[in-house]
Structure 1
Amino acid sequence: MVESLKSQAVQARLYEGKEPIQFFSIFQSFIVYKGGASSGYKKFVEENSSAEHEIYKEDGIALFRVQGSGPDNMQAIQVETVAYSLNSAYCYILHSGSTVFTWSGNLTTSEDQALVERQLDVIKPNMQSKPQKEGTESEQFWSLLGGKCEHPSQKIGKEQENDPHLFSCTYSKGNLKVTEIFNFSQDDLMTEDIFILDCHSDVFVWVGQKVDSKARSHALSIGEKFLESNFLMEKLSRETPLFVVVEGCEPPFFTRFFTWDYNKSLIHGNSFERKLAIMKNGVTPTVDKPKRRSSTSYGGRSSVPDKSQRSRSMSFSPERVRVRGRSPALTALAANFENPSARNISTLPPVVRNSIPNL
């Protein structure tokens, strides 16, 4: 499908439970049924009756956890129909036949409770629910869940987005070698090469227009190999969302990490020819110009190195675990997708740390 679109589409590899907000925003209302509801899955269960499977039934019993940030980003996830599946930080929908309950945890907000009503219109339209607040539940409610018991009270944790790290990379015969580029900018992305942008919660593989088709076809494998190799020694999950982005078709959720000029990718030629053209003629900028921080060190790091020190390799001991700095501005990144009117926000340029050796 990507090839049929001449690689202009972003290719994303996502796992259940690790979906980024830009995925959920496509659907607005997103429902995950436990065990599946498709005819293919039902047939699979019939042919494998000895195995334990569960099929969602509209007139059966089911419990859904409702989550999200608003009407354009809300999800209902079916969970085990037991009291322990409840969590004080979420709202839930419980239905059994013609009986429908909504349950609000003590840590939920009025916005969370409004999402439940919206999702109820999707899962059980035109049915009146019986609202339940944590601590005042009816006996019928607990009976459907098999009895009352203790349950968690903390939101389900997700990987946090941290200061991005850019790597140039070479990939040959299944072996990946990377070199980190410090204080990076859009100009570091060379049209003949492949680069990896690691944001901890997401990993992007950027493919230049002049990369040959064989190397381009390995872009997804390069990203998976990067996760497997754990170059930054931060134990990234193999299920971390992975995006393949082609030069000239970069989406806003990638360009926000740079001060981005879309016109630069329109200049013809290799990297040298492009830079020469810019020096001679200049470029009329069409820029996403996010707010960037000065070269102040965060998280105990030293100041930003000069240009001559951008890409250097240094050996290090595995015991020297690298800890990412956290910027106060990073909390605004998620809001970039939750609020459609928000401008693109760039994270702050990375500060100096030892480069990753060519492993």
Structure 2
Amino acid sequence: MASKMVESMKFVPAQARIYEGKEPVQFFVIMQSFIVFKGGVSSGYKKYIAEKEFDDDTYNENGLALFRIQGTGPENMQAIQVDPVASSLNSSYCYILHNGSSVFTWTGNLATSTDQELVERQLDLIKPNLQTRAQKEGSESEQFWELLGGKTEYSSQKLTKEPESDPHLFSCTFTKEIYNFTQDDLMTEDIFIVDCHSEIFVWVGQEVVPKNKLQALTIGEVIMEGGEPSFFTRFFTSWDSSKSSMHGNSFQRKLRIVKNGGTPVAEKPKRRTPASYGGHSASVPDKSQQRSRSMSFSPDRVRVRGRSPAFNALAATFESQNARNLSTPPPVVRKLYPRSVTPDSSKLAPKSSAIASRSALFEQQLKTPPQEPSIPKPIKV
């Protein structure tokens, strides 16, 4: 269902697959207050534990329950229900223990003031409006230990998440590892895997074939180009978000950056008008418009992705000519190589006009019928 949601939104969102006990900090920040209860209430769960003959330890607000409180602040705090036994305690945490109307808070010797503040906040969610009895490690009451089944040894080492270390970048197309990688190694036509030991990220370029994008959703936490969150970009020495808004393939982008002096230029989708010939201009849609209007010209022709921009522009030109109204006269094409004008051509202008006037006079004389010459009469003396 999650993969279908991502596909319906054109693969723009980042899809993360998170397992219990391996939640990243970013997940807890989204939830802010996160409480995990033991057991379940669904019929499927009840049937499962009955078949396996497991004890039903589903949380009961009026029963016995022990919660470990953890987090780094009010925007990131969790209450995780653990087994109500003394061995579940840890000197680095604070705990909430309740049994009906009896509520205890336990503070380990290594816990911080922030941990104690989070306990008070979680009490308002788990057991509000009840009087609590604070327990400090080393000075607990007998009733507290009785609820936990007696005092036993417990750990004083804080539970920490497996650290991120030594990230590696792999190309799915070339099936090889890229060493000393940077942002420029991420090609928009490819899918890359970033393995940081404790997490796996899958980066998908904007020009990846749609069917390959669907396959990427089954690998790990998917990051789409242009929507990279900060917890992914931190693995790169530097990150420029403007590069994802550039059009074209990887080669065209790098060439444009080189021509611009090393600075990426984001192109806004717009209609471009090529050079005019003889007063007629044909507007050719750019690449982004071709993608959104892939079937607008001819419904019988399937546009193949991956063609070069030059080919798409040429095809669009032919299609626009076919779609032109037949009553419109064809464009007047000006010669690409007009006769050059030499510096001495201005001197020939008077001679040309004289010849033209002489020719006009000659043609006029041809149209006039010839007259017989008159013979002078003799003069008498």
Give yes or no for TM over 0.5.
Answer: yes
Aligned residue for 1:17? 21
For residue 206 of structure 2, give the secondary structure of its aligned residue in structure 1. coil
Partners of 1:42 and 1:55 within 8 A in 2? no
Greater length-normalized contact order (CA 8 Å, ≥ 6 residues apart): 1
The amino acid of 1:280's aligned partner reads K
Aligned residue for 1:5? 9
Aligned ranges 1:29-178 → 2 under 5 Å: 29-36=33-40, 38-40=41-43, 44=47, 50-170=53-173, 178=175
Give, in angstroms, the shift of residue 256 of structure 1: 2.2
Which segments of 5 or more consecutive residues in structure 2 lack a partner in the other structure?
A: 267-381
Aligned mates of 1:92, 1:279 — CA distance in 2 = 58
Change (3 A) 1:42 1:189: closer
Aligned mates of 1:114, 1:67 — CA distance in 2 = 11
Give, in angstroms, the shift of residue 169 of structure 1: 2.1
Change (3 A) 1:144 1:193: same
User: Could you say which structure has the larger radius of gyration?
Assistant: 2
| More moved, 1-10 vs 60-69 | 1-10
Give, in angstroms, the shift of residue 178 of structure 1: 3.4
Partners of 2:257 and 2:265 within 8 A in 1? no
The amino acid of 1:253's aligned partner reads F
Change (3 A) 1:215 1:146: same
Aligned ranges 1:346-357 → 2 under 5 Å: none
- Output the TM-score relative to the length of structure 2: 0.64
Partners of 1:88 and 1:106 within 8 A in 2? yes
| More moved, 57-66 vs 251-260 | 251-260
Partners of 1:262 and 1:285 within 8 A in 2? no
Aligned residue for 2:306? none
Aligned residue for 1:273? 252
For residue 279 of structure 1, give the secondary structure of its aligned residue in structure 2. helix
The amino acid of 1:180's aligned partner reads E
- Which whole-Å deviations, capped at 9, do the CAs of 1:210-269 have from their partners, x for residues lacking one? 111121111144x3xxxxxxxxxxxxxxxxxx4110111111211222211111111111
For residue 95 of structure 1, give the secondary structure of its aligned residue in structure 2. strand
Partners of 1:60 and 1:97 within 8 A in 2? yes
Instruction: Select 1:208's aligned residue among 183, 205, 223.
Output: 205
- Output the TM-score relative to the length of structure 1: 0.68
Instruction: Select 1:219's aligned residue among 193, 209, 216.
Output: 216
- Give the count of matched residue pairs: 260
Aligned residue for 1:190? 187
Aligned mates of 2:48, 2:166 — CA distance in 1 = 45
The amino acid of 1:183's aligned partner reads N
Are 1:179 and 2:158 an aligned pair?
no
Change (3 A) 1:243 1:48: same
Partners of 1:261 and 1:285 within 8 A in 2? no
Aligned mates of 1:74, 1:180 — CA distance in 2 = 38
Aligned mates of 1:197, 1:145 — CA distance in 2 = 44
Change (3 A) 1:33 1:245: same
Are 1:261 and 2:237 an aligned pair?
no
Give, in angstroms, the shift of residue 274 of structure 1: 1.4
Aligned mates of 1:114, 1:2 — CA distance in 2 = 38
- Which whole-Å deviations, capped at 9, do the CAs of 1:108-154 have from their partners, x for residues lacking one? 11111111111111111111110001111111111111111111111
Q: Which has the larger share of helix?
A: 2
Aligned mates of 1:187, 1:262 — CA distance in 2 = 12
Change (3 A) 1:96 1:247: same
The amino acid of 2:191's aligned partner reads I
> Once the two structures are aligned, what percentage of the paired residues are identical?
65
Partners of 1:63 and 1:95 within 8 A in 2? yes
For residue 201 of structure 2, give the secondary structure of its aligned residue in structure 1. strand
